[in-house]
Amino acid sequence: MAIKAHCLSSLKASTTYFTFLAMKQNGTVVAAQCSCVAGQGEACSRVAALMFYLEDKMRQKALHLPADTSPTGRPQQCHVPPK
């Protein structure tokens, strides 16, 4: 299973890091990476935060994770006529 996330920097809200986590079905982490400097070595706070988030969702027995809500994942809004 592969999970990707967009994480904001704790110092600059305008900086976004891309975090990736690959796991086996039993929960064993196969690979982890973040686009920050520390994440290239597979160990940064955003990778850990993603793992804690997933653990929390599993304990809550959440069946679905939130969908990607990036602007490119939503329908175009700039040419929609006003109501």
Judge contact between 9 and 15, C-beta under 8 A: yes
The tens digit of pLDDT for each residue in 32-70 reads 888 887 767 767 888 888 888 888 888 888 767 666 555
Give DSSP secondary structure letters for 21-81.
EEE-TTS-EEEEEESSTGGGGT--HHHHHHHHHHHHHHHTT-S-PPPP--GGGS---TTPP
Amino acid code (one letter) for 15: T
Task: Record the pTM.
Answer: 0.65
The tens digit of pLDDT for each residue in 17-41 reads 888 889 888 888 898 888 887 767 7
In the numeric block, which tokens belong to residue 59? 């304990």
d(C-alpha 31, C-alpha 46), whole Å: 14
